[in-house]
Copies of this chain bind each other. A is one copy, B any other.
Amino acid sequence: MHRKLRMGMVGGGLDAFIGAVHRRAAVFDHEIELVCGSFSASPEKSKRTGQSLYLPDDRIYDSFEEMIQREKELPEGERMDFISIVTPNHLHFPPAKLALENGFHVICDKPMTLNLQEAKELAQIVEKSGLVFALTHNYTGYPMVKEAREIVRSGKLGQIRKVVVEYPQGWLSKYEEGNDYKQAIWRTDPARSGAAGCMGDIGTHAENLAEYITGLKITELCADLTTFVPGRLLDDDGNVLLRFDNGAKGVLHASQISNGEENALKIFVYGELGGLEWHQMEPNTLHYKSQEGHRLIRPNVGEMSPAAKAHIRLPSGHPEGFFEAFANIYRDFAYAVKAHMNGEQLDPVYDFPSVYDGVRGLAFIETVIASNQSTEKWTKFVQ
């Protein structure tokens, strides 16, 4: 097969932040083209969105159900190959399920579903379908995050002892959901966001990043969630103690009321022999420290793992950012879809979060909610 993959989008109307990110990420490496979409619950808005993207009118749909059915009727090579789901959380599961059951691969925003039960069911559907499913925990797409994972894997840090992952934001310091602020409204609405607010929206990114880099699993945790802004329906801040399956300890905190913080995801990993530090807002520097010295690892400077190298597009000193990390997820997903079509194995330097990462994310949410309500110190990670 020698052609671009064809993408249909679910969600991502004109004023959506993350939909536009997905669209740019998808086309970035010339492997994918957007061919159709159901961009909004409002057919009129879906139409306007599709037209602004220069789609033909007959490929702009009123609903994902219509899209999946109609596209399926088109000949292979013309019809979409996969769908990208960028709706609020409660609308992830239905289109994912329908697409998979109709033979379309799926790439989906996070958290994967509205609750853990849906997540587990989705995992079964994916398994049964044999199709490719990717979850856009986009921060794992950064080359320096991959380099961090490779350093841990190499054993250079020795046994991991401590992990600190922090995700402060400040944008919900006020009651923004009262301001016709679409991003705020659905994220603070339990019906659309799920059982957790901040911990679902960004806490799951932190959890995923910690497990991705260290290769460890959280086994139990102790959470203290708070809703600081009066009138808000979900947590806007959470502090969590972590214990990992190898005996490592950790701290995870996430917040959307850390006033003045932008999107300050950062992680610190300490092993017997050295430590790593990475900040999402300066993503092209990985700090590698030990009692012998402090090294800044930078894309395409000196030795670097094949996995990191495979996700860098520019010479050193030419900063790549959020879009490029996101595009790495899409490109690797595209490679996986092509490998699937061609009956080949994906080269392991390419990787992306799977449906099982999605299950862990929802389990994390349910565990922190349970722990928050408990007077016991430790709550086992929900299976």
**Does A356 make an interface contact (CB < 8 A)?**
no
Interface 1/0 per residue, A42-74 and B, CB below 8 Å: 000000000101100000000000000000000
Stretch at the interface among A147-155, A203-211, A309-317, A334-342: A309-317
A259-B282 CB under 8 A given contacts A168-B268, A253-B251, A317-B169: no
CA distance A288 to B295 in the complex (A): 10
Q: Are A302 and B292 in contact (CB under 8 A)?
A: yes
Q: Out of B34, B157, B241, B322, which one reaches A318, CB within 8 Å?
A: B322
CA distance A65 to B303 in the complex (A): 43
Q: Are A301 and B262 in contact (CB under 8 A)?
A: yes
Q: How many residues does chain A have at the interface if contact means C-beta atoms less than 8 Å apart?
A: 90
Closest Cβ of chain B to A342, distance in Å, is 16
CA distance A275 to B302 in the complex (A): 15
* B-contacting residues, A10-37, CB 8 Å: 17, 20-21, 23-24, 27-30, 34
Q: Which residue on chain B has the smallest CB distance to residue A183?
A: B315
Stretch at the interface among A118-126, A188-196, A220-228, A345-353: A220-228
Point out which of A239, A255, A295 has the most chain B C-beta atoms below 10 A from its C-beta. A239
Q: Are B262 and A298 in contact (CB under 8 A)?
A: yes
CA distance A281 to B282 in the complex (A): 10
A281-B319 CB under 8 A given contacts A54-B2, A164-B166, A293-B297: yes
Interface 1/0 per residue, A368-379 and B, CB below 8 Å: 000000111110
Q: Are B317 and A319 in contact (CB under 8 A)?
A: no
* B-contacting residues, A265-282, CB 8 Å: 268, 270-275, 280-282
A171-B241 CB under 8 A given contacts A54-B30, A289-B261: no
CA distance A82 to B284 in the complex (A): 34
Q: Out of B20, B222, B375, which one reaches A224, CB within 8 Å?
A: B222
**Does A263 make an interface contact (CB < 8 A)?**
yes
Closest Cβ of chain B to A279, distance in Å, is 10
A97: B residues at CB distance < 8 A:
none
A298: B residues at CB distance < 8 A:
262, 294
Q: Out of B295, B320, B322, which one reaches A322, CB within 8 Å?
A: B320
Q: Are A162 and B241 in contact (CB under 8 A)?
A: no
Q: Are A263 and B318 in contact (CB under 8 A)?
A: yes
Q: Out of B173, B258, B291, B316, which one reaches A302, CB within 8 Å?
A: B291
A226: B residues at CB distance < 8 A:
161, 249
Q: Are B291 and A260 in contact (CB under 8 A)?
A: yes
Q: Are A260 and B162 in contact (CB under 8 A)?
A: no
Q: Are B17 and A24 in contact (CB under 8 A)?
A: no
* B-contacting residues, A215-256, CB 8 Å: 222, 224, 226, 228, 237, 239, 241, 243, 249-251, 253, 255
- Where the two chains meet, the residues of A that have a C-beta atom closer than 8 Å to any C-beta of B are 2-4, 17, 20-21, 23-24, 27-30, 34, 51, 53-54, 157, 161-162, 164, 166, 168-171, 173, 222, 224, 226, 228, 237, 239, 241, 243, 249-251, 253, 255, 257-264, 268, 270-275, 280-284, 288-298, 301-303, 313-324, 374-378
In the complex, 8 of the A-B residue pairs with CB atoms within 8 angstroms, ordered by the A residue number, are A24-B30, A161-B237, A171-B315, A260-B294, A261-B270, A293-B302, A296-B296, A375-B376
Q: A255-B270, A263-B317, A292-B302 are in contact. List 5 more A-B contacts (CB 8 A).
A: A173-B273, A262-B315, A263-B318, A283-B319, A321-B321
